[in-house]
Structure 1
């Protein structure tokens, strides 16, 4: 594995353990996950401490300061975002306990596949770096913006409240990163399968010029076994995606709720301003930081969403590659044709669908519809603000 990627993944793992999001151990050398008493006790204590902190945060000086500086609509938006994030994080942390065995099984299966195909460890390098950098920049920019915004009201208790608030943000980012890395692992394996399908097709084309019947039969037998192995791996990957959807179903729904409310509020605050000052009317330090934080935040969302849709893209590419086999000369080899038809039937009988907690499919058309809804609701809030200011 490339060194920067290895250290970034280890950093995310230890960060997750520190926050209590992971309640089991993962061997950083082999990638194997297992339940230990130490990890269970620490995660339980960390969860109890976090629950207590969230209660204190709701009654903290930070919230009182926000409430005193905000108008009624701002108060409602702060309240919606805060309650949504706290509720979703609490539900996610609790779900990690009853889904622990299934999550460990999923991680171990992905780890075994990665060791059998070590190429994936270099293929995911760029996207791992992109996600880690986007998370870091998003969290740092939010902390800096909050410190600048509240600099005239800063006390030791307010500083502690800000730290608790961004512990909540860090928990959300860690939860999203777990889903991100699992999907990225599956995507890289799909890319390798497509490369193997291209190689099988190229060799099958070369068989048309093979004059030796024995040599052609031997090579066709090898190609049939290779294509059958590709089909089994694809079925395994799709089963892992379905397991991921079941394990992270509630968490994905919570993340969607957090993103929906946060993006809507971000658009609203970007237009109206956090303190009632429009960005376009005064480019002071706070507004510059607000613009930078908004840009980084949306970039992180795009990176996360793109990581989901590229799985659908690479699966569609696999279907296109398999259609090319129909152009081969008929009667090439009976066993090879049987394996090919079985693979096509497997994909047709069990099409790849990514669903959000069994409610609706996650594809680009759904994302566009969701974005349209977010923008519409944000503009309604802006209009309400302008009419009642």
Structure 2
């Protein structure tokens, strides 16, 4: 059977190497991560080129009148903040990949080892992988189309800036895609853990309802205790992967969340400006506006996918805790070792709660996400009211 999921994952890996995000080599046959000299040299060359172009753009005077005609001062502030934050996010992502390179390699090896242990997780996540990578590819192509469309309206100097912005967007999107795929892999493993735990609890309940014959009863209890211990060990390993991932992406995560926040507010304001001033006054074409709004749609969709894979994993963890509560339905006491295994995994989940934190500033939950959306709407209204009053 044709393994199109594996082909997609390999294509994403090689794309990350081309844009300068991946600075190590993955041996797909053996499932190993190696520090190949060719990959290191290529990544250094691409990253140095990016930094040189960024420094060149910073040294030049940024004239927004080349992009929009009759642009007011508030437009300038909004656009400068958006572009600067995207550039800073891209550069910080590149620098962090070199700073955290050894940790990333160890984590990638751990993920591959678990992946080879349960290869069915790839098929379990195949449609989510397809949707995520498709949205990322369409977003990058639309960003490229926006840069190409700007050739007719901008000069060569401005086009270099647009191309650099596309490059940074591609780096950020690929980094977010890698984060998403690892969380998706952990979530698929959680589904296997929940299925295994339900089976163990069901067998334990059936065992508690039978007359305890000493030899067979104790053997069965020890077998179930071993399965519980394996579940606890695997759950701890998965949670450790997520904790390391969040630690390595802490600064990037903060910049990405701030970027989402600022971009959503800016998009609402720019939409209002288009409705107020018209396309012609802002020196835009219908095609440019259509490309821009299409890119915004896929950008929002990508943000929603990134958010919900985290929220769904948190829900899976809570469901794992709820499944363990069914052990209170046992009609009689089981073997001491099996009871201790159940208590051990429950204490493990209680003492080490599963949470996603952004730079230890705020925690990602459904309530905090809803509060963030409310704040975006409020600040969008404030920005539009400021424009109505002073411009």
TM-score (norm 2): 0.91
- Is this contact kept in 2: 1:322–1:344, CA < 8 A? yes
Alpha-carbon distance in structure 2 between the residues aligned to 1:298 and 1:82:
17
Alpha-carbon distance in structure 1 between the residues aligned to 2:30 and 2:361:
36
Alpha-carbon distance in structure 1 between the residues aligned to 2:82 and 2:25:
32
Structure 2 SS opposite 1:358: coil
Alpha-carbon distance in structure 1 between the residues aligned to 2:140 and 2:381:
26
Q: Residue 45 of structure 1 corresponds to which residue in structure 2?
A: 45
> 1:159 offset after TM fit, Å?
4.3
- Between 1:5-14 and 1:54-63, the stretch displaced more is 54-63
- Between 1:300-309 and 1:49-58, the stretch displaced more is 49-58
Q: Residue 295 of structure 1 corresponds to which residue in structure 2?
A: 297
- Is this contact kept in 1: 2:64–2:76, CA < 8 A? no
Structure 2 SS opposite 1:273: helix
Q: 1:373 to 1:212 in 2, by over 3 A?
A: closer
1:125-144 alignment, distance < 5 Å: 125-144=126-145
Q: Residue 222 of structure 2 corresponds to which residue in structure 1?
A: 221
Alpha-carbon distance in structure 2 between the residues aligned to 1:263 and 1:154:
25
Alpha-carbon distance in structure 2 between the residues aligned to 1:245 and 1:158:
36
Structure 2 SS opposite 1:351: coil
TM-score (norm 1): 0.91
Q: 1:212 to 1:341 in 2, by over 3 A?
A: closer
Q: Residue 83 of structure 1 corresponds to which residue in structure 2?
A: 84
> 1:324 offset after TM fit, Å?
0.6
- Is this contact kept in 1: 2:85–2:259, CA < 8 A? yes
Q: Residue 93 of structure 2 corresponds to which residue in structure 1?
A: 92
Alpha-carbon distance in structure 1 between the residues aligned to 2:181 and 2:63:
34
Alpha-carbon distance in structure 1 between the residues aligned to 2:174 and 2:196:
34
> 1:56 offset after TM fit, Å?
3.4
Q: Residue 314 of structure 2 corresponds to which residue in structure 1?
A: 312
Alpha-carbon distance in structure 1 between the residues aligned to 2:108 and 2:264:
31
Alpha-carbon distance in structure 2 between the residues aligned to 1:68 and 1:55:
26
- Is this contact kept in 2: 1:25–1:36, CA < 8 A? yes
Q: Does 1:71 align with 2:92?
A: no
- The alignment yields a C-alpha RMSD, in angstroms, of 2.5
Alpha-carbon distance in structure 2 between the residues aligned to 1:48 and 1:326:
60
1:119-158 alignment, distance < 5 Å: 119-145=120-146, 147-148=148-149, 150=150, 152-158=152-158
Q: 1:89 to 1:47 in 2, by over 3 A?
A: same
1:227-266 alignment, distance < 5 Å: 227-266=228-267
- Is this contact kept in 1: 2:151–2:159, CA < 8 A? no
Structure 1 SS opposite 2:21: coil
Q: Residue 358 of structure 1 corresponds to which residue in structure 2?
A: 360
- Is this contact kept in 2: 1:264–1:378, CA < 8 A? yes
1:361-376 alignment, distance < 5 Å: 361-376=363-378
Structure 2 SS opposite 1:329: coil
> 1:70 offset after TM fit, Å?
2.5
What are structure 2's unaligned runs of at least 5 residues? none
- Between 1:290-299 and 1:172-181, the stretch displaced more is 290-299
- Is this contact kept in 1: 2:86–2:168, CA < 8 A? yes
Q: Does 1:6 align with 2:18?
A: no
- Is this contact kept in 2: 1:245–1:355, CA < 8 A? yes
- Is this contact kept in 2: 1:190–1:314, CA < 8 A? yes
1:263-306 CA distance string (max 9 Å, x none)? 22122222322993289xxx955544444333222111101111
- Is this contact kept in 2: 1:21–1:93, CA < 8 A? yes
